[in-house]
Amino acid sequence: MDEGYNTRNDFQFISIQSPADAKDRDKRRQARSHAAKKGRQQQLQYASPRDAGGTLGQTLIPWSIFAPVSAYGPFETLIGDSPKLRALLSHDAARQAAEPIFSVADPVVFQDFASVFRTDLDDPALLNAVKLTFAFAVTGGNIDQECLEYQNQAMGAIRERMDSLESALSLPTLGAILLLADLNSSVMTGSSRIVDHTTFVELQWKRDPFASTYFVLAPGFQRISHLFDEDFIEVLKDIHALQCVQDLPRYSCQNPIEMLRVDNQQASIGSRLVDLPKLSATMEACYLAAYLSACMLCCKVWRHSVMPSHVSLKLLRKLQESNDDIFWDENPDLLIWISYLGGSFSPRGVIHLEYNIILKTNHNSRFKGLYQSLEDLLEILHRYIWSEKAYRTQLEEYWKEIQLELVKHRVGMPGLSRFRGTDDHVATPMMKEYYSQRSQVPGTLIITEAGIISPGAGGYPNAPGIWREDQVAAWKTITDEVHQNGCFIICQIFHVGRAAVPDIAEKEGIEIVSSSAIPHGEGAPVPRALTVEEIKQIVHDFATAAKNAIRAGFDSVELHAGNGYLLDSFIQDVSNTRTDEYGGSIQNRSRFVSEVMKAVGDAIGPQRIGIRLSPWSTFQGMRMKEPIPQFSDVINKAKELGLAYIHLIEPRVANSDDLDHLITESLDFAINLWGGPILLAGGYKPDNVQKTVDETYPGKDIMVMFGRYFVANPDLVFRIKNNLNLNQYDRSTFYAVKNPHGYLDYPFSSEFLANTKV
């Protein structure tokens, strides 16, 4: 059985019935091919829109998905008048080849090399390298006369170019070198290799005897060298040397003459690491971290070709597997190096998030007190393998991201609509003051009141929107203020749906809509069921609003899919009786919210999205009979898409009313389903917070949200921490439109004022 990249349920069984089958080339090829393909697909799937080339909001659409796929795939342009290459590429074995990793039949696998093969049609180095590659596949890995011929021609052409900087620097030369030195598929696919670093004389690498001072162990590894295999120690010395060369001031990663040697050194390192005995998950994590660190020291084209995301994924799994190993308790700084390296070089999305979780869960235990600042962290990383040139930028970016996620305590503020915006839905200075008051304790997480996504999505008076530029600008003053106070601010976004207030809807020309023509209560207006076309438009509006929120400086976005608003009205069968693809079954009812999660994820990255759900709430005519299967489906979809957190409302409240009957329902089903951070809200009091976090859900990453008490206590976090009495809230001012009373005048405690200079 080969599980390929067995990350989720994304693997394929390839049955092996007898020992002889294990040697069956077809089966092995099938396994390798599947693994390489899956891995590549995941890389694409998890890559964030930011990776796609800079600006936020761009969607990652690999060109190859839209490019017409010819019979020869991306090699079409190369073929020119080479009948031999045409014949090789038409060969079944070549078309299916898993090694090298480029499969002719699989354009997705191929995209990193697209530019090379598109621009240089008949380059002899490249052409012969490609011929060699596929001749290899056709002969099943036997180097015959024909292979040697291609190799000689390719190498001859490469050598000639080394005399001129311009031709040595050209993409086809680099591409040819890379094809010849494609030793890495074994690491990615976990298969046995047909090529390794000793196969070609030209690719063999030996230590330079004149540079012996570089071939030493970094101090961190020196201290624990007795724990490692001797061969591994030698590899670590080679990586150290690679890093020293990379960091030489005159060294340029663009110079292929230097890079050829460096890449060969890396190939040798990689190849030897693969051969090390796999004694434990902990050791394997160390090997993979070493592999990743060496990969990132090579030239750019190579870095892409080895697909570090695959290595970082494998590393992640080994870290998770070895999480309880005492080895990490004894060597936390090594774990810091490995986790930061893995996180910095992993693609955005699920893998990235899982690294964040590893760092966060260790933050208050194994890593406690080891580093406070970036400087402290760098000091630790320097003890192992560290390259200013190759690692610094990514590491700094990752550090910022992690810091941002390190909310300093577990008391947060949930969405609280207060209607203090302007009549045309712009945030006001009064709101800035209100959020500023509530962000006086650094490290607090604040979620804003629900923000309207588009002109037609409203129906609440003076609720702020996030579809126009003036709205974005006004929110920006608030996010700046909260950030200046050292806190985090998430923008909750929603479509009011059938809960729209009729007067407001009429005044603003909003048509009251929902999933079906079912009102939310007696006397409420009957909404019109949305058409499929309108649904698609709203999905788009959510994505635009999310992009606007990020432009306005918000740290993340929360989709309000609870309390009976539009998204919730599609999820539950009490409000959704549609018979098209958006109703009638669990899957169909989840479709709208899934599409929104996906579109918003494409727009700003799933790691910046949370979702609020109220599976048990009866507020605004909700509460289906069997919420568990339905909401489990939604949560599983959120999980698949890699959302950052879920925010759940306890069954003991209906919005902001405490229920006075016995509560038998529980959120446990949802909490158990979700592996990442969970925000809980509804009826929490200072005296039940600690118990919830420490006793009820000890293994979970829980944050407790206080609604009404945050309304009435600007210094709530301080009060809870210091066991102080709370101000009581005044319900009559909850929604007092544009009124500062009951909004800005709840007092801070005298203790807080004495402690600070508010």
Ligand X SMILES: Cc1cc2nc3c(=O)[nH]c(=O)nc-3n(C[C@H](O)[C@H](O)[C@H](O)COP(=O)(O)O)c2cc1C
Between 596 and 649, CB nearer to ligand X: 649
User: Whole-angstrom Cα distance, residue 270 to residue 239?
Assistant: 10
Q: Does 612 bind ligand X (CB under 6 A)?
A: yes
Rounded Cα distance between 375 and 368, Å, is 16
CB closer to ligand X out of 558 and 602: 558
Indicate which single residue of 627, 682, 714, 742 sits in contact with ligand X (rule: CB under 6 A): 682
Instruction: Based on the shown chain and the rule CB under 6 A, indicate whether residue 419 belongs to the binding site for ligand X.
Output: no
Residues forming a β-bridge with 369: none
252: exposed, middle or buried (C-beta count within 10 Å: 0-12, 13-18, 19+)? exposed
Residue 184 or 556 having the CB closest to ligand X: 556
22-30, 414-422, 503-511, 672-680 -> range binding ligand X (CB under 6 A): 414-422
Between 217 and 693, name the residue whose CB sits nearer to ligand X.
Answer: 693
Q: How far is the CB of 258 from ligand X (least distance, A)?
A: 57
Contact of 680 with 704, CB cutoff 8 Å = yes
Residue number, 126 or 681, with CB nearest to ligand X: 681
Local structure of residue 465 (DSSP, 8 states)? B
- Minimum gap (Å) between residue 586 Cβ and ligand X: 23
Identify which of residues 237 and 612 has a Cβ nearer to ligand X in the complex.
612
Site string for ligand X, 720-739 (x = CB under 6 A): --------------x-----
Q: DSSP H helical segments within 225-331, as ranges?
A: 230-246, 256-275, 281-295, 300-305, 308-321, 326-330
Q: Which of 6, 656, 692, 739 binds ligand X (CB under 6 A)?
A: 656
Kindly state the smallest distance separating residue 4's Cβ from ligand X, in Å.
41
194-212: b (≥16 Cβ within 10 Å) or e: bbbbebbebbebeeeeeee
Q: How far apart are CA 612 and CA 523, in angstroms?
A: 27
User: Of residues 342, 415, 621, 742, which one binds ligand X by CB under 6 A?
Assistant: 415
Q: Is 565 a catalytic residue?
A: yes
649 binds ligand X (CB under 6 A): yes
What would the x/- binding string for ligand X be over residues 555 to 574, using CB under 6 A? -----x-xx-----------
Residue 497 binds ligand X (CB under 6 A) = no
- The greatest distance separating any two alpha carbons of the chain, rounded to the nearest whole angstrom, comes to 89
428 belongs to the binding site for ligand X (CB under 6 A): no
Neighbouring C-beta atoms of residue 523, cutoff 10 Å: 6
Interacting residue with ligand X among 190, 347, 683, 742 (CB under 6 A): 683
Among 151, 436, 492, 548, binds ligand X (CB under 6 A): 492
Candidates 301-309, 415-423, 512-520, 717-725: pick the segment binding ligand X (CB under 6 A). Answer: 415-423
In the complex, least distance from residue 660 CB atom to ligand X, rounded to whole angstroms: 14
For residue 388, the minimal CB distance to ligand X (Å) is 45
Q: How far is the CB of 655 from ligand X (least distance, A)?
A: 5
Structure tokens at 611: 């979702």
**Phi and psi (nearest 5°) for 703?**
-125, 140
In the bound complex, what is the minimum distance in angstroms from residue 455's beta carbon to ligand X?
18
Given the complex with ligand X, which of 30 and 428 has the nearer CB atom? Answer: 428
User: Which one is catalytic: 46, 340, 355, 565?
Assistant: 565
DSSP string, 151-203: HHHHHHHHHHHTTSHHHHTSHHHHHHHHHHT---HHHHH-PPPS--TTSSGGG
User: What mask, x for binding ligand X by CB under 6 A, covers residues 183 to 222?
Assistant: ----------------------------------------
Residue 397 neighbours by CB distance under 10 Å: 12
Identify which of residues 214 and 734 has a Cβ nearer to ligand X in the complex: 734
Residue with Cβ nearer ligand X (215 or 706): 706
By CB under 6 A, name the one of 184, 189, 417, 607 that touches ligand X: 417
Interacting stretch for ligand X, rule CB under 6 A, among 340-348, 653-661, 663-671, 737-745? 653-661
684 belongs to the binding site for ligand X (CB under 6 A): yes
Residues 6+ apart with CB under 8 A from 531: none
Q: Which of 394, 477, 655, 739 binds ligand X (CB under 6 A)?
A: 655
End-to-end CA distance of the chain: 65
| Tokens found for residue 244 | 């020293």
* Residue number with CB closer to ligand X (62 or 461): 461
Query: In the structure encoding, which two tokens stand for residue 81, read together?
Result: 């008048």
Q: Is 410 in the site for ligand X (CB under 6 A)?
A: no
Please list, in sequence order, all residues whose beta carbon lies within 8 angstroms of the beta carbon of residue 76, skipping any fewer than 6 positions away: 70
Within residues 450-469, the interface with ligand X by CB under 6 A covers 450
Separation of alpha carbons 389 and 386, rounded Å:
9
Sign, Cα dihedral of 136, 138, 143, 148: negative
Is beta strand 488-494 parallel, antiparallel or unpaired with respect to 556-560?
parallel
- Using CB under 6 A as the binding rule, whether residue 653 contacts ligand X is answered as yes
Residue 576, C-beta contacts closer than 8 angstroms, at least 6 positions apart: 515, 516, 569, 570, 582, 583, 589
Give the residue nearest to ligand X (CB).
707
* Inter-CA distances, 289 with 36, 281, 694, Å: 20, 12, 33
CA–CA separation, 101 vs 38, rounded Å? 12
Known catalytic residues are: 565
Chain residues in the site for ligand X (CB under 6 A): 414-417, 449-450, 492, 560, 562-563, 612, 649, 653, 655-656, 681-684, 706-708, 734
